[in-house]
Amino acid sequence: MMAVTSSCKEGNKIAMDNGKYVRYTPEQVEALERLYYECPKPSSMRRQQLIREYPILSNIEPKQIKVWFQNRRCREKQRKEASRLQAVNRKLTAMNKLLMEENDRLQKQVSQLVYEKSYFRQQSQQQAGLATTDTSCDSVVTSGHQHHLTPQHPPRDASPAGLLSIADETLTEFLSKATGTAVEWVQMPGMKPGPDSIGIVAISHGCTGVAARACGLVGLDPTRVAEILKDRPSWFRDCRAVDVINVLSTGNGGTIELLYMQLYAPTTLAPARDFWLLRYTSVLEDGSLVVCERSLNNTQNGPNMPPAANFVRAEMLPSGYLIRPCEGGGSIIHIVDHMDLEPWSVPEVLRPLYESSTLLAQKTTMAALRHLRQISQEISQPDVTGWGRRPAALRALSQKLSKGFNEAVNGFTDEGWSMLESDGADDITLLVNSSPGKMMGINLSYTNGFPSVGTAVLCAKASMLLQNVPPAILLRFLREHRSEWADSGIDAYSAAAIKAGPCSLPMSRGGSFGGQVILPLAHTIEHEEFMEVIKLENMGHYRDDMIKPGDIFLLQLCSGVDENAVGSCAELIFAPIDASFSDDALIIPSGFRIIPLDSGTDASSPSRTLDLASTLEVGTAGNRTTGDRSGRCGNSKSVMTIAFQFVCEIHLQENIAAMARQYVRSIIASVQRVALALSPSNFGSHAGFQSPPGSPEAQTLARWICQSYRCFLRMELLKQEGNESILKSLWHHTDAILCCSMKALPIFMFGNQAGLDMLETTLVALQDISLEKIFDENGRKALFAEFPQVMQQGFMCLQGGICLSSMGRAVSYERAVAWKVVNDEENAHCICFMFINWSFV
C-alpha cells in the first residue's frame, strides 16, 4: 500500500530499491496500457506470463510491473475522482445560483406579503367602522353576490396577430411564475436541494388549479433540452398524443405552434383529458431559451378544436420551460406546470387526484427533470447494459409497457376497443379489440403458415378503493409474492399466445420468490423505476410442441416502491415475451396501478417491513422525506386499477371472457386479503405509530458483524457519529459488505448499499446469489484454499482481484477481508466479506 501511495505521481517511472528511477520506453508504456485495459489488476502468475509473452517487457522485473499497475490504478482512480469533483462543483455552482435566485424571489414575496398585510389591516379597520353604522341585510347580500360573481371575458382573437399577442402575454405570465411571485410556491415535502438531489421542487399554495415548479441542472445544451421536452409523449407516461395543427413564425425569430394534446385517464373511474394549446418558443435577450404554453379555450377568428368524445377539455394555464446555458456546459432549467384539470367531472372520492399539486409535481414536473438526467447519463455513458440492450432500447421497451397498459385502462374506441355485455355485476368491465393494428404480431393460430385472422385481444379491468395500506408496501408484496395472487395456468396461456419458446437469454439470477426468479434488467438514475425479467420455472406444457415442462418469461416494469416518496403512484406492469426478446417484440401488458388519494403534503407512509431483506431505509436522496415518518395510519386512501389482457380467437371469445371475469375477481379478492393483512391497524392503531428503520433481526445482525470484526481484527469497523444506529452506519459504509451463509454452497444473505451496488442487485434478490458465482476460476481456487483460515483464526485477508456482478460485469477490488460472524452465544452465524476500493472494470 505504501508503494502505491508514494509513487502515484511518478507517471511512467519505475521505483527502484536504491531510490533512483528508471523511465519506461514509449513502446513499453504502450504495451502496458493495452494490458491494463484488458486486466487492470493482474495476479503474480499473470504478471510473469506477461513478461514471457511480451519480449519488450523482458528487462522489467515482475515487482516493477506490479508497481506500474498499482500506480496506473491509482492515477485512474484520481482521474475519476477529479472528474467527479468537477461535476459536483459545477452542479453546486449552478445550485447556488438557483438558491440565490430563489432567495431573491422569497424576499420579494415577503415584502409583498408585508405590504398586503398592512393593506388588509387598514381595510378591515375601515369595514369594522362601516359595520357599526350600516346593518342592513340588503347591503350584506349584495356584497356577497358581487364577491362571487365570475367575470366573463370576451373571446380572444385567434388571428395571426391575435395569437402573437396571446404568445407575448403567455411568455410574461410564465416568467412571472418561473422566477417571480405570481404564484405562492412552497417547498415540496421531502425535497431538499443538494448535489445529489433532482433539483429544487415546489408546489403551489392557494392558486387556481394545481401547479408545480422545479429548478435543476442537466448536462445537455439548451437546444437539446427544448427538443426533448417538446416531445412530451417520450417522457410523460400519461400523454397519449400531441398533434401539431399549425405552425407560425414570429418576427423575432420565435415560433408559435397550435397543439392538440390528449392525456390518459389514470383509472377506469374517470374520463381522459384533452387540451387545445398554444406553444410559443423564443430566445430572450440574455440568450435563455423559453418554451411556454397555454390553453386556447375561448377564441374566435382562428383555428379551433371541437370537443372530442370520451374526453374532458381541461385548461393549461401559462406553463413551460426556461432553459439557460450553464457555465462549463449543460443547462439550468426552470419548469412550471399549471393546470385546471376540471375535478368536477370525476366522482368526489377521486377529486384529490385532480386537485393535488404534489401528484402533478411527481407525474409531470419531476418526470421531465428525471428524463433529462437519464438522457444526459446515457449520452455520457453509452455502454450496453442489461442483456445486450442499449439504454435507449430498454427505455423504449418500458414506454411500450406503460403505453400498452394505459391503452387497456382507457379502452378508446378509435383504437378499436368495444365493450362486451356485462354478466349482471358491474365490478368488472370487459372490452375486446380485433383491429388489425392490435393484432399485428400475434401468432396464436396459424393456417397454412399464415396467422389466423380470427384473433382478438380481450381486456378485463376494474378499480377498487383501498384504505390504510401504503401503495409501495402493497406493490412490493405483489411483486415478490406472485404466487399469492397469480394463476400459473393463466400465465401459461398468455405465454402460449405469443408462441414463447425456450429462452436463450443469459441467466444472471437476481432473486427467487416462490417459483419465480427475478432477473434485473435496468433501472433509472434514482431507482424510482426499474425493469426486470420474471422467470416462471417449470410452468407445465404451455405449448403443444413441448415434451418437457418449460419456463415462462415476463418483461416487468416496476415503479413507486419507495415508501417515503410523497404523492407518487405505484405501478407493476408485465407482459409475456418470446425467446427472441427483440426490440420490436409484441407487448400485451397487464398489471396494477395504485394511486394515493391523499394530498400527502405533510406526511408520508409508515415504514414497516416484510422481511429481513426489506428492513432498511433504502432509496435516493432526491425523493426521500426528512421529517417524521409516522404514517397516515387511520386515514390513508388509494385507488387501485387492475387491467389484464388476454389474446383469444373470436370463436372462443365468450369462454375467455368468462375466464377473465373470474380471474380478475379472484385477484381482487387476493388483493383485499393482502391489503387487510398489511394494514397498519394490524400492527397498532394509535396515531403515533412509528417503526424503527430496521427490524430487530437486521439490527441484531449488524451488531454481530461489528462485534465479530472488533474481536477478530482488533479494530473498529464503523466510526459512528452522534446517535446514528449501527445498522444505518453499516448500510452507508463506503466499502462493499456482504454476508453469506455457512453452508456447503454459501449463499449471500445480507449486503449494505455498496455491496448491492457492486453486485448490481437488490436486498431481496441477493438471497439467490451464491458466493462462488461472483468469482472466476482463479478467484474461487484462492478463496477456498484460504477459507479454512476463517474458521480457525476468525478472519483472513485476500489480495486484490476480479469478481463478477449479477449482471456479469467485471468488478475489481484492491483487497478483501473476510471474518467469522458469531452470535451472542459465540456460535458461528455466517461469514462476512468486505471488498475495499472496488470499481467496475
In 3D, which of 588, 268, 263 has the Cα closest to residue 430?
268
Helix (H, G, I), strand (E, B) or coil at 538: coil
Summarize the confidence of residues 831-836 as an average pLDDT.
Answer: 92
CA distance 69 to 199: 40
* % of the chain at pLDDT higher than 90: 27
Query: Which residue ranges does the chain devote to CATH 3.30.530.20?
Result: 160-380
What region does 181 belong to: left with phi over 0, alpha with psi -120 to 50, or beta?
A: alpha
**pLDDT computed for residue 446 by the predictor:** 39
- pLDDT surpasses 70 at 693: no
Cα separations (Å) of 365 from 91, 257, 265, 823?
20, 21, 18, 49
In 3D, which of 811, 839, 767 has the Cα closest to residue 510?
767
DSSP 123-143: HHHHHHHHHTT---HHHHHHH
- Per mean pLDDT, which range of 44-48, 180-184, 443-447 is the poorest? 443-447
Grid cell of 149 as nine digits: 360573481
C-beta of residue 323 within 8 angstroms of C-beta of residue 176? no
What region does 139 belong to: left with phi over 0, alpha with psi -120 to 50, or beta?
A: alpha
- pLDDT surpasses 70 at 503: no
CA distance 804 to 409: 41
- CB hemisphere CA count around 179 (13 angstroms): 15
- CB hemisphere CA count around 606 (13 angstroms): 27
Cα separations (Å) of 523 from 69, 240, 392, 617, 751?
33, 23, 12, 19, 19
**pLDDT computed for residue 535 by the predictor:** 85
Where are any strands of DSSP class E within 153-288? 156-157, 185-187, 200-204, 210-218, 239-249, 255-263, 272-283
Q: Kindly report, residue by residue over 215-246, the tens digit of the pLDDT.
A: 888 889 999 999 999 999 999 999 999 999 99
Selecting from 3.40.1260.10, 3.30.450.20, 3.40.50.970, 3.40.50.720, what CATH number does the domain 733-840 have? Answer: 3.30.450.20
For strand 637-649 and strand 455-467, is the pairing parallel, antiparallel, or unpaired?
antiparallel
Sheet holding 590-596, edge to edge: 417-419, 429-433, 455-467, 637-649, 590-596, 570-576, 552-559, 529-536, 516-523, 511-513
Comparison of pLDDT for 16 and 457, the residue scoring more: 457
- pLDDT surpasses 70 at 297: yes
Comparison of pLDDT for 620 and 466, the residue scoring more: 466
For residue 688, give the H/E element and its range. Answer: none
**pLDDT computed for residue 131 by the predictor:** 56
SS3 content of the chain, % helix, strand, coil (to 5): 40, 25, 35
- Per mean pLDDT, which range of 321-330, 610-619, 755-764, 798-807 is the poorest? 610-619
**pLDDT computed for residue 384 by the predictor:** 54
Print the SS3 string covering 320-359: EEEEEECCCCCEEEEEEEEEECCHHHCCHHHHHHHHCHHH
Q: How confident is the model at residue 96 (pLDDT cuts 50, 70, 90)?
A: confident
**pLDDT computed for residue 579 by the predictor:** 63
For strand 516-523 and strand 417-419, is the pairing parallel, antiparallel, or unpaired?
unpaired
Q: How far apart are the first and last CA of the chain?
A: 20
- What is the architecture, at CATH level 2, of domain 411-443+452-539+549-599+636-678? 2-Layer Sandwich (3.30)
Quote the mean pLDDT of the chain.
78
H helical segments located in 20-152 = 26-38, 44-53, 62-131, 137-147
Q: Kindly report, residue by residue over 513-554, the tens digit of the pLDDT.
A: 446 788 888 878 777 888 888 888 766 544 444 444 567 888
Q: Which residue has the cell 392503531?
A: 685
Print the SS3 string covering 606-635: CCCCCCHHHCCCCCCHHHCCCCCCCCCCCC
- pLDDT surpasses 60 at 601: no
Q: Which residue has the cell 389466423?
A: 452
**pLDDT computed for residue 129 by the predictor:** 63
In 3D, which of 526, 485, 493, 522 has the Cα closest to residue 396?
522
Q: Kindly report, residue by residue over 338-388, the tens digit of the pLDDT.
A: 999 999 999 888 998 999 999 999 899 999 999 998 898 888 776 655 555
**pLDDT computed for residue 44 by the predictor:** 79
Print the SS3 string covering 762-784: CHHHHCCCEHHHHECHHHHHHHH
Selecting from 3.20.20.70, 3.40.50.300, 3.30.530.20, 4.10.490.10, what CATH number does the domain 160-380 have? Answer: 3.30.530.20
- Per mean pLDDT, which range of 198-207, 344-353, 409-418, 465-474 is the poorest? 198-207
- pLDDT surpasses 50 at 629: no
Segment of 239-243, 465-469, 619-623 carrying the highest mean pLDDT = 239-243
CA distance 790 to 820: 6
Helices (H) and strands (E) in the chain, counts: 20, 33
- Per mean pLDDT, which range of 136-150, 382-396, 630-644 is the poorest? 136-150
Q: Is 420 exposed, middle or buried (0-12, 13-18, 19+ CB in 10 A)?
A: middle
Q: How confident is the model at residue 602 (pLDDT cuts 50, 70, 90)?
A: very low
For strand 156-157 and strand 299-300, is the pairing parallel, antiparallel, or unpaired?
parallel
Grid cell of 480 as nine digits: 415478490
Q: How confident is the model at residue 757 (pLDDT cuts 50, 70, 90)?
A: confident
DSSP 655-673: HHHHHHHHHHHHHHHHHHH
H helical segments located in 499-621 = none
Identify the bridge partners of residue 466 per DSSP, sorted by sequence position: 638
For the chain, give the number of residues: 841
Q: How confident is the model at residue 330 (pLDDT cuts 50, 70, 90)?
A: confident
Q: Kindly report, residue by residue over 404-451, the tens digit of the pLDDT.
A: 999 999 999 999 899 988 766 667 999 999 887 665 545 444 333 334
Query: Which residue ranges does the chain devote to CATH 3.30.450.20?
Result: 733-840
H helical segments located in 232-356 = 351-355
Summarize the confidence of residues 306-322 as an average pLDDT.
Answer: 93
Comparison of pLDDT for 154 and 420, the residue scoring more: 420
CA distance 555 to 577: 6
